[in-house]
Amino acid sequence: MITHFQYKPLFENTKIPGWRISFYYKKQHFSGVYHQNGKIEWTGTVPATDIIHGLEAQIHELMLFHVYDK
């Protein structure tokens, strides 16, 4: 389960899409850039291949809820 999920706009002009994200998963910190098309660029530790797809799906749901469903 993802905990301490945070996101911030990449640009001062918040109408330009792109967000910095960070969160913890199983006590390990992860960070990246979430692009408008849903692609995630990992900027720190890259999640293991066996969990990356599940994490990306959870992040996408969180971004839909926090950013797009305002």
- What DSSP string describes 9-51? ESSSSTTS--EEEEEEETTEEEEEEE-TTS-EEESSPPPPHHH
Whether the per-residue pLDDT at 17 is higher than 70: the answer is yes
- Among residues 27, 29, 25, the alpha carbon closest in space to that of 57 is found at 25
**Long-range contacts, stretch 8-15, CB < 8 angstroms, 24+ apart:** none
What pLDDT does 69 receive? Answer: 62
Query: pTM for the complete prediction?
Result: 0.86
Segment 21-36 shows an average pLDDT of 96
Alpha carbon distance 44, 12 (integer Å): 23
What is the Cα–Cα distance from 53 to 13, expressed in whole angstroms? 30
Segments making up each domain of the chain, as ranges: 2-68
Residue 70 has pLDDT above 90, yes or no: no
